Structure 1
Amino acid sequence: MRSSSLALVAIGLLLAGGSACAQTYDPSYPVCMQIYGPVGYFDCRYGSLAQCKYLAVGRSASCVMNPYFSARKKSPAPRRSRGAAGAG
C-alpha cells in the first residue's frame, strides 16, 4: 500500500514538472529563417538577409536578425615596445 502511494506521488511529480525548451537560435550565424507551419522552427545558418530571403522564396517563412549572434572580435594588434624608439 505504501509503495503504491509512493509510486503515485512520484508519477504525479513527473507529470506536473514543466517542459524544458531548447535554445531557439544558433549564435553562430547573424540571420535566421523562421519557418511557419504545424511544427514551426528557426533555421539559423545564413550569413546575410539577402541569402536568407533568396532561400525563403516559395516557403512559408520569414528572415530575422539573430538576437543571440556573437560576432567574434579580432584580437588586438600586438603592441610595439617603446624601448627601441625612445632610446636616443
Structure 2
Amino acid sequence: MRILRLAALAIAAVVATPSAHAQTYDPKYPVCLQVYKGWNDYYFECGYTSLAQCNMSASGRAAQCVVNPYYEGGKRRGQRPRRDY
C-alpha cells in the first residue's frame, strides 16, 4: 500500500510540472518578425538585420516586426565614461 501511494505521488508530481518552452529569440539578429497563426498562436522568425528588411517580409501577412530584446551585438567598445560636473 505504501509503494502504491508513493507511485501515485510521483505520477502527480510529474503531471503537475509545467513544460519548458524553447527560446524564441535568436541573439544574433537585432530584429524579429512575429507571425500570427491564430488568436493566441504565434511564432518568431529572428533573422533580420533591419526593420526595413523585416517590414518587407511582413507585408501582406498577419505579422509585425519587433526589436529583439536579447540581441547580443551592437555594443560599443572603448566608450569613455560619462563625466558629471
1:62 is matched with 64
The structure number with the bigger radius of gyration is 1
Match of 2:32 in 1: 32
The one-letter code of the counterpart of 2:60 is G
Q: How many residues align?
A: 76
Cα displacement string for residues 25-63 of structure 1 (whole angstroms, at most 9, x for unaligned residues): 111001000111233111110011111110111211000
Structure 1 CA distance, aligned partners of 2:55 and 2:75? 27
Structure 2 gaps, min length 5:
79-85
RMSD over equivalenced CA pairs, Å? 1.8
User: How far apart are the structure 2 equivalents of 1:75 and 1:41?
Assistant: 33
Following TM superposition, the consecutive aligned residue runs of length 4 or more in structure 1 with deviations greater than 2 angstroms are 72-76
TM-score (norm: length of structure 1):
0.74
How far did 1:18 drift?
A: 2.1
Partner of 1:44: 46
TM-score, structure 2 length as denominator? 0.76
Q: Distance in 1 between matches of 2:16 and 2:65?
A: 36
Runs (5+) with no aligned partner, structure 1:
77-88
Mapping 1:62-81, distance limit 5 Å: 62-71=64-73
SS in 1 for 2:10: helix
If asked which structure has higher relative contact order (CA below 8 Å, sep 6+), I would say: 2
Amino acid at match of 2:17: G
Cα displacement (A) at 1:7: 1.1
Of all paired residues, the percent bearing the same amino acid is 53
